[in-house]
Structure 1
Amino acid sequence: MNAETSLADGRTASDFDDDFDPLDEAGAPELPPQRYLDRELSWLAFNQRVLELAEDPTLPVLERANFLAIFASNLDEFFMVRVAGLKRRIDTGLAVPTNIGRAPLDVLADISRIAHELQERHAAAYQQLVRPTLAEAGIRVVTWGELSDEEQANLREYFSGQIFPVLMPLAVDPAHPFPYISGLSLNLSVRVRNSRTGKQEFARVKVPQMLPRFVAVASDDPKEGTRYITLEDLIATHLGDLFPGMEVIEHHVFRVTRNEDVEVEEDETENLIKALEKELLRRRFGPPIRLEITDDMDDVTLGLLVRELDVTEQEVYRLPAPLDLGGLFDLAKIDRPELRYPTHVPTTAAQLQPSESNLRADFFQAIDRKDVLLHHPYESFATSVQAFLEQAAADPHVLAIKQTLYRTSGDSPIVEALIDAAESGKQVLALVEIKARFDEQANISWARKLEKAGVHVVYGLVGLKTHCKLALVIRQEKGGLRHYSHIGTGNYNPKTSRIYEDLGLLTADDQVGKDLTRLFNELSGYAIEKKFKRLLVAPLHLRKGLLKRIAEETANAEAGKPSGIRFKVNSIVDEAIIDALYRASAAGVPVDIWVRGICSLKPGVPGLSENIRVRSILGRYLEHSRIFTFENGGDPQVFIGSADMMHRNLDRRVEALVRLTDPDHLAEIDRLFSMALDPSTSSWALGDDGVWTRHHLDDAGLPLRDLQNVLMQEIAGRPRPGKRR
């Protein structure tokens, strides 16, 4: 039965989601206890896949450098949040949830072992693979000793004028305690000897983060190509200028990662913004959880750092220079387009393109004619979602705009559109999630700017993050009100929309509009709305709704009816969802999981999950959309939205999925899965042992099909309205 089919009493099938008890598994086969993969180790396996892209010689070398930087940035955040959270819970005696039944300290030991291996492999990929390939292309990272006298003289002048004035050497002695080392900063440890007394002293020099990490070496010889020296190497060469009269004995580079997870205790007695600002200040002084040092560091210096920073031997990572390969983001921006992926300019979605007789599209007319399914970044965010909201802000017939903001860019045209709408007298509601990790301060600033412009700013529900991506426009038309809605899988961020793969639905469907109206009322006021017609909303009934549909697929398979489940997610960890998929597999339901990051599900286990396949696709764009499809006995149901299959998404966040109804959209999603899961498409496959195997070459050694390249070409080639093909 279709979820919107009316029943005799006027209700719809979706009204029965709350009658379904996901824990009622009486008679279901017992599942083995060791049926999950560890989520932290699965995340490290994801970052290994990123590293494999950096190691791939078939990719353009500046893209490989970029993947090295992404790996480093990912790992930093993993330590700051996941490892820090585990350590904090262990140190404070709190229960540490683990889905594999192992002691938390053993999990930490495994994380340390694998992270050490990956960081060493990461450093080797730079030194042995990417750096030589860059040199072959005329981009060289050199040391001071490789430079000519003239080049050294030029850099000495640059150092004296641009670097020396901002350096702050800090001594460590009885009068100067060991300095605070900020998280993720690059530092030089320096041991010097007093030439008069012969006494050795220790000092620390912080490498300024606002200066370029790779300093260009000026040369008149075109044969030299483009050369760079690392900033820390340049500073180390001039340490004598910082410690005049002292003999520099040793210098080494080190870097500290701190606990930067934020936990705000919410109650109704303290202003949420003030509580968060206080916690953000505390974040800067979180305890160290990782110490990276260059492999030439002497034992005396290392002993001092370990003692003063209070880190364990397990938390020390000894690596070849340079540390912090996240700095390669800067190098990857060099203007050498032939060393990058070919330029891709997003197209305007066919339904939103103006006809030849019009200079601008009328979004309200276009959406009224037919729902629009957007696929970013192949289709432009700027000429679709952004332009839709800008038109709504300027349209005199628009009475109200309601919007959620989780992450947005520093110069957000979305926020400016909301401000323009409010200043023109429209009712504007912005639900700003100020607890979006690492964007907290930016979102606080946006919230205050919006409030000053007259926008009604709210922060959602106590204890829940608002993660759903929703916009609702109310427009006066022909004596009545029309709802124009956008529900997406990604943030309202024009910058990330160029590199994140996401889906979004623009619709004038009255039922979706009413659902969003009720949901926004719940988020901004005191309404408690449990029933939605085309939405599945967490935390009240998204989990139940998905489990109900998985159970229906299981029953259909047992009854010999068509069945099938396909999910596309960033992560799948939730045990209840995984167990339901195991039971569906045992009943004969074909299950395909397309996951970018963490996967705790074990596919291909006889008697448990032999009908489950798990694939991962990584490439130039970050796969970010979430899709849930159910065969439903031959009447497919397809949902898109913001939720991953994780406890936080299903239980501690406001998430929303919308059901697609347009047959063309259902066919488009079906084809997307078919291409992604086809053996001729480059991907990684997950084994039951948690090992991911890359399949990117055919039997003849030729590259398999790149899904993202295919989508770029196909979507760019769609016909424009008013043009013959």
Structure 2
Amino acid sequence: MNDPVPSARTTVAAAPEARYFNRELSWLAFNRRVLDEACNPDHPLLERLRFLSISATNIDEFFMVRVAGLKGQQNQGVGHESVDGLTPSQQLAAITVDAAGLVDSQQRIWRDIAAALAEANIFVLGADEIRGDTEVWLERHFRDQIFPVLTPQALDPAHPFPFIPNLGSAMLFDLIRRSDDVEVREVVLLPPAMPRFVRLPGKAARYVAIETILRHFSDLFFPGYTVRASAAFRVIRDSDIELEEEAEDLVLYFRTAIKRRRRGRIIRLEIESGISDELVQLLRDEMGGSDALITETGGFLGIGDLSMLVAEDRPDLKFPPFSPRFPERIREYGGDCFAAIRAKDIVVHHPYETFDVVLAFLKQAAADPDVVAIKQTLYRAGKQSAVVAALVAAAEAGKSVTAVVELKARFDEEQNLNLASVLERAGVQVVYGFIEWKTHAKISMVVRREEQGYRTYCHFGTGNYHPVTARIYTDLSFFTADPVIGRDAAQVFNYITGYVEPQALQQLAISPRDLRNRLEALIEGEIQTARSGGEGSIWLKMNSLVDPALIDKLYEASAAGVQIDLIVRGICCLRPGVPGMSDNIRVKSVVGRFLEHSRIYCFGNGQALPNDDALVYVSSADWMPRNFDRRVEYLLPINNPTVHDQVLDQVMVANLLDTEQTWELGPDGSYRRVAKGERPFNLHRYFMTNPSLSGRGAAIESGSATVPQKLSLRAWRAARDGAV
């Protein structure tokens, strides 16, 4: 077993770093926490492999987008400094060092996991293990299933170097023709549609990588040649799409841009170690990657592909299966979502409570003859989207259906274009929102004809309308029939579809209009409470904290004596625990079985948190400049007492109490895994075994159901105050 992956530090001597951590290096530190889960002995073996695969996929996307952006700035001579005072070149230098250490750790951890898998009867065979019956079966498989798909291409003046797409893998062969001893070089592209591994028949799970098979049977693929050397390599290209504001047709623009993405400039070239300098230079020259980052590894290229092994049918090596609950409140109303929501606001806590309730809400709206209109934002909805199917059914039933489809959702652009086409063919009014802003707010609105007139039912999500991620991301779905919120939601949709700017929102705050100002005012309220001798208190839960203006406002609050506890899963540019600046700020990150994704913001409102009068908000926005300045986001207050208690006293308290999946951020930028303590607490386990408050309805009110385990902050507060 490996020791936990050491956490990268994010400090340098530049003066601005006295206040901020670097965004990119903070992200790498987050991915180290993800990778550390692959070393966690408390996780089943295939789940550890899943974390390893996720960390590798994360790194790929980081290079495709973030590093590509910095390389573009460097190539254009842009000297703009990051908030922590680093130029693009300085950031790239630091990233290169940190990323290299991260990749080395991935290879080391894979070797340990591979050994453990072998003990569990799951094998990834090397070339020296292909013999006997295994070799006979693989040769037949190679001839029938692999040979016809692969295409060798000679490298000479008549055959230019083939194009290798983003995330594409290939093999380079240095051959000698036996008939005349002429040197020949060949490239073989490994088709992306071909599975990376072949599973051998039999009860034991034995896998062989496609490049291992090709190398082993190279004499069949290149008859009459002797292989002098061979090496696999992998390409990562610039995959960000830069939107031109003058684009007149967004659909046409993105269809073209998606094709260009495949041919983006090379950012990273990964090569098997042992390859000659001559062949490395050949790859540089032929692939136009002279300024690409070249990495050589003696391990496994494309570790993200190991996710294929996780699908092996070995429940003993995976987390125990978990079936999410359906809110009993809705069952009490015979499955009538509208009746349940009309009676009282309800919040659904995913993945502990099923995403099916969101689908039921939309399906009921589609089938209900009294529903006259549905409006829906779609950011990431999945390939086979049940949400889209419900909207199609509603349109075909003659209802007025409007869908705001975000084409700028990174890496989902093509999928969203296809979904938009499906919606338009069904008669849905499809809108693509603003050219320069992404519509990131997750809002659904249903208008229904009732006895007293039209009533609006709304759903607000902290996550996406995506049934797959809803099983692994922790998010909140808030349902309400509050007419004030309904009017606000209608104005937001009119803003997106018709550029009609809201004039009098009563409950919602939205960006880029006023969300930042609302948050600054809420922090200011806690500052004034502390300065007047009260107990200023702030709890914030988000995925990323980057925005320097709001970080500075939190520093101001800390200096005034406000107690601030931040739960930031990923990037955090705020430096906690610095005397005179952030003494009263603590930052933790929770990384575990589920991906913490909900955005929740709580303010004490004159008292220490938690309390019944606290101001509690849910939101679609993290605290990054893009969320406040270049995206349409929402911030919604939670006023219903039961929902208020669930979000504040259950969700937020459980996150603060967690000791089994928690990391603490220090003032030097290092993350330290907290000790489990005498009474370990796992927030994911708690919510898998304890029902929510608002979803229980009359079952709890009548005393006929078990009340969720009461969470106490006494020990946590004592530890916090002792640290302070």
Under a length normalisation based on structure 2, what TM-score does the superposition of the two structures give? 0.91
> Structure 1: how far apart are the matches of 2:130 and 2:52?
26
Point out the more displaced range, 683-692 or 287-296.
287-296
Quick one: structure 1 residues 96 and 236, their matched pair in 2 at CA, closer, same or farther if it must change by over 3 Å? Answer: farther
Structure 1: gaps (5+ residues): 1-30
Pairwise CA distance, 1:721: 5.6
Letter in 2 for 1:362: D
> Structure 2: how far apart are the matches of 1:593 and 1:605?
15
3-state SS of the aligned residue for 1:715? coil
3-state SS of the aligned residue for 1:632? coil
Aligned partners of 1:571 and 1:595 also within 8 Å:
yes
Pairwise CA distance, 1:655: 0.3
Residue 115 of structure 1: aligned partner: 99
**Corresponding residue to 1:540 among 513, 518, 533:** 513
The answer on 1:639 being equivalent to 2:612 is no
The answer on 1:236 being equivalent to 2:209 is no
3-state SS of the aligned residue for 2:322? coil
> Structure 2: how far apart are the matches of 1:97 and 1:403?
39
Letter in 2 for 1:230: A
Residue 720 of structure 2: aligned partner: none
> Structure 1: how far apart are the matches of 2:359 and 2:565?
33
Q: How does 1:12-411 map to 2 (within 5 A)?
A: 34-94=18-78, 96-127=80-111, 129-219=112-202, 225-267=204-246, 270-311=248-289, 315-354=293-332, 360-382=334-356, 384-411=357-384
**Corresponding residue to 1:502 among 475, 481, 484:** 475
> Structure 2: how far apart are the matches of 1:719 and 1:266?
48
> Structure 1: how far apart are the matches of 2:543 and 2:340?
31
Equivalent pairs, count? 681
> Structure 2: how far apart are the matches of 1:169 and 1:154?
23
Residue 587 of structure 1: aligned partner: 560
Residue 719 of structure 2: aligned partner: none
Query: How high is the sequence identity, in percent, across the aligned residues?
Result: 43
> Structure 1: how far apart are the matches of 2:281 and 2:77?
28
Pairwise CA distance, 1:258: 0.4
3-state SS of the aligned residue for 2:352? coil
Pairwise CA distance, 1:235: 1.2
Pairwise CA distance, 1:716: 7.7
Quick one: structure 1 residues 688 and 517, their matched pair in 2 at CA, closer, same or farther if it must change by over 3 Å? Answer: same
3-state SS of the aligned residue for 1:429? strand
Under a length normalisation based on structure 1, what TM-score does the superposition of the two structures give? 0.91
Aligned partners of 1:266 and 1:272 also within 8 Å:
no
Which digits, 9 at most, give the CA deviation of each residue in 1:533-553, with x for residues without a partner?
A: 111100010001001111111
Aligned partners of 1:530 and 1:540 also within 8 Å:
no
Pairwise CA distance, 1:633: 1.2
> Structure 2: how far apart are the matches of 1:215 and 1:679?
41
The answer on 1:708 being equivalent to 2:684 is yes
Structure 2: gaps (5+ residues): 1-14, 608-612, 706-724
**Corresponding residue to 1:675 among 649, 654, 658:** 654
Quick one: structure 1 residues 34 and 145, their matched pair in 2 at CA, closer, same or farther if it must change by over 3 Å? Answer: same
Quick one: structure 1 residues 270 and 546, their matched pair in 2 at CA, closer, same or farther if it must change by over 3 Å? Answer: same
Letter in 1 for 2:24: E
Aligned partners of 2:16 and 2:84 also within 8 Å:
no
Pairwise CA distance, 1:529: 1.2
Pairwise CA distance, 1:242: 2.2
Aligned partners of 1:568 and 1:626 also within 8 Å:
yes
Pairwise CA distance, 1:682: 3.3
Quick one: structure 1 residues 97 and 537, their matched pair in 2 at CA, closer, same or farther if it must change by over 3 Å? Answer: farther
The answer on 1:556 being equivalent to 2:529 is yes
**Superposition RMSD in Å:** 1.8
Which digits, 9 at most, give the CA deviation of each residue in 1:428-472, with x for residues without a partner?
A: 110000111000011111111111111111111231110000000
Aligned partners of 1:535 and 1:656 also within 8 Å:
yes
Quick one: structure 1 residues 440 and 472, their matched pair in 2 at CA, closer, same or farther if it must change by over 3 Å? Answer: same
> Structure 1: how far apart are the matches of 2:205 and 2:253?
49
Aligned partners of 2:591 and 2:661 also within 8 Å:
no
Pairwise CA distance, 1:680: 4.1
The answer on 1:418 being equivalent to 2:391 is yes
Letter in 2 for 1:372: I
Which digits, 9 at most, give the CA deviation of each residue in 1:634-672, with x for residues without a partner?
A: 431111111010011110000011110012222222222
3-state SS of the aligned residue for 1:260? coil
Letter in 2 for 1:416: A
Letter in 1 for 2:191: P
Point out the more displaced range, 625-634 or 703-712.
703-712
3-state SS of the aligned residue for 1:353? helix
Q: How does 1:571-586 map to 2 (within 5 A)?
A: 571-586=544-559
Aligned partners of 2:658 and 2:683 also within 8 Å:
no
> Structure 2: how far apart are the matches of 1:688 and 1:354?
50
Point out the more displaced range, 549-558 or 195-204.
195-204
> Structure 2: how far apart are the matches of 1:719 and 1:389?
21
Aligned partners of 1:346 and 1:716 also within 8 Å:
no
> Structure 2: how far apart are the matches of 1:308 and 1:626?
46
